[in-house]
Amino acid sequence: MTDETFRLETRAWLAENCPPEMREPLRSEKDICWGGRSYVPSSPAQKDWLERMAARGWTVPDWPKAYGGGGLSPAETKILREEMAAINARNPLNSFGISMLGPALLKYGTEEQKLDHLTKIAKGQIRWCQGYSEPNAGSDLASLATSAEDMGDHYRVNGQKVWTSYADQADWIFCLVRTDKAVKQGGISFVLFDMASEGVSTRPILLISGNSPFCETFFDDVKVPKAGRVHDENKGWDVAKYLLGHEREMISGMGLGGSGGNPLIDGAIATVGLDRDGRLADPLLRASIALFEVRARAFGAMSERFIDELKAGRAHPAQPSMMKYYGTELNKTRHELMMSAGGSDALEWDSERSHGGAHARSWLRTKANSIEGGTSEIQLNIIAKRILDLPS
């Protein structure tokens, strides 16, 4: 099939199968579909959209069909994304399984692990969380101390993770554990286990935005079968770094602003209005938004090229750090400008007309963008060392 035929067929299929409600901008966290064992659809349309896309393998269009994917080529995947964007279609499934664990399993997993876990991720049946950070291991992640003691056919895991996003709602965890105390990076293994295992507990942490998807996660004598280890024992650091590249790429996508029109420009027009020439009436805000839009479009072009290179295995290992740094800076600026455009009204926190302070809460949430997935300082260190070749 030519790319043009694929585009026309995809357009027709989306027109017929993407429910109108799934073309509306996201209004709250409830509108995001995370899947998982305890998933309760927020509407019949959300359920239909997930099921229809999963049935075609289009929740993970470029994964092989054998693992629940769509088996699409890079060009077809891009066409699908463009056609979805053209009708403002929502992402049918948001998942750390798709954006983080999946790519790592495709590279390092056994055939059995791929067939089991990837298929469930593609259908949204299992929701994953990430057990990397610990109270004394954040930027210096390789200092992690959660121990996995060899018990023959399984590991006995003890320790604590922190900032584990959605740990209290996740079904399974991908987790870094220490299998050798004598060496730092070379003593880490990457394991997968069920959050319902005996000895796992979670405690939510409150954030400045008022929402609390973040948890402390505790492991007390958790029995983890060795079949859940990805890659060799003590080789988990390779998997961890590879996954982090994909996480950083995913986070950088925030710089692109998501689907559903341009809330910055629409919001600015709604609050300050247009002058006689049809331009935004506030010249200072207009200049700031124009500069921002130029940067955002340049980032969009760069990111498209970087993602192609990443998928083709031709990317420089530090490219995700460049994307993560710049994409998160853009997202923070976008929200600062939205707050400027909204004036004091934008600070409303609880009112009905502000949808419970949606703008203000999103703005505060963006402050964490330059911390999650590795801080901006760490990304700049990587760029300085690996790309600019500066001394440590």
What amino acid positions are annotated as catalytic residues?
Answer: 247
Stretch that binds ligand FAD, among 120-128, 161-169, 330-338, 354-362 (CB under 6 A): 161-169
Q: Does 169 bind ligand FAD (CB under 6 A)?
A: no
Please name which of 258, 240, 241, 238 lies closest in space to residue 321, comparing C-alpha atoms: 241
Query: Under the criterion CB under 6 A, does residue 139 sit at the interface with ligand FAD?
Result: yes
Smallest separation (angstroms) from ligand FAD to the CB of 173:
9
Query: CA 268, CA 262: separation in Å to the nearest integer?
Result: 10
Q: How many CB atoms lie within 10 A of CB 269?
A: 14
Is 138 one of the binding residues for ligand FAD (CB under 6 A)?
A: yes
**Alpha-carbon gap, residue 303 to 221, rounded angstroms:** 43
What contacts 121, CB < 8 A, 6 or more positions away? 60, 68, 95, 97, 98, 101, 102, 128
Question: Smaller CB distance to ligand FAD: residue 221 or 377?
Answer: 377
| Smaller CB separation from ligand FAD, 71 or 138 | 138
In degrees and rounded to multiples of 5, residue 230 shows phi and psi of -100, 130
User: CB of 73 within 8 A of CB of 81?
Assistant: no
**Smallest distance, ligand FAD to C-beta of residue 141, A:** 7
**Least distance (Å) between residue 385 CB and ligand FAD:** 11
Q: Residue 32 CA to chain centroid, in angstroms?
A: 12
**Residue 67 binds ligand FAD (CB under 6 A):** no
Q: How far is the CB of 215 from ligand FAD (least distance, A)?
A: 9
The pairing of strands 188-194 and 229-230 is antiparallel
Q: Please select the residue that binds ligand FAD; options are 10, 91, 164, 259, rule is CB under 6 A.
A: 164
Smaller CB separation from ligand FAD, 269 or 364: 364
Q: How far apart are CB 66 and ligand FAD at their closest, in Å?
A: 29
Binding ligand FAD by CB under 6 A: which of 80, 104, 374, 382? 374
Contact flag: residue 372 with ligand FAD (CB under 6 A): yes
Q: Which stretch binds ligand FAD (CB under 6 A): 65-73, 126-134, 144-152, 323-331?
A: 126-134
Task: List the end-to-end C-alpha distance of the chain, in Å, as a whole number.
Answer: 51
> Among residues 132, 218, 306, 325, which is the contact residue for ligand FAD, using CB under 6 A?
132
Q: Is 156 helix (H, G, I), strand (E, B) or coil?
A: strand
155 touches ligand FAD by CB under 6 A: no
* Token pair recorded at residue 200: 């796992």
For residue 214, the tally of other CB atoms under 10 A from its CB is: 19
Q: With CB under 6 A as the contact rule, which of the stretches 15-23, 82-90, 133-141, 338-346 interacts with ligand FAD?
A: 133-141
The one among 163, 193, 306, 325 contacting ligand FAD by CB under 6 A: 163
CB 269 to ligand FAD: min, Å:
31
Quick one: which of 149, 155, 151, 170 has its CA closest to 217?
170
366 binding ligand FAD? (CB under 6 A) = no
Give the C-alpha distances (Å, rounded to integers) separating 115 from 18, 102, 109, 216: 28, 11, 10, 30
Tokens of 69: 């994917």
Nearest to 2 by CA among 59, 70, 62, 75: 75
Q: Which residues bind ligand FAD (CB under 6 A)?
A: 129-133, 138-139, 161, 163-165, 214, 368, 371-372, 374-375, 377-378, 381
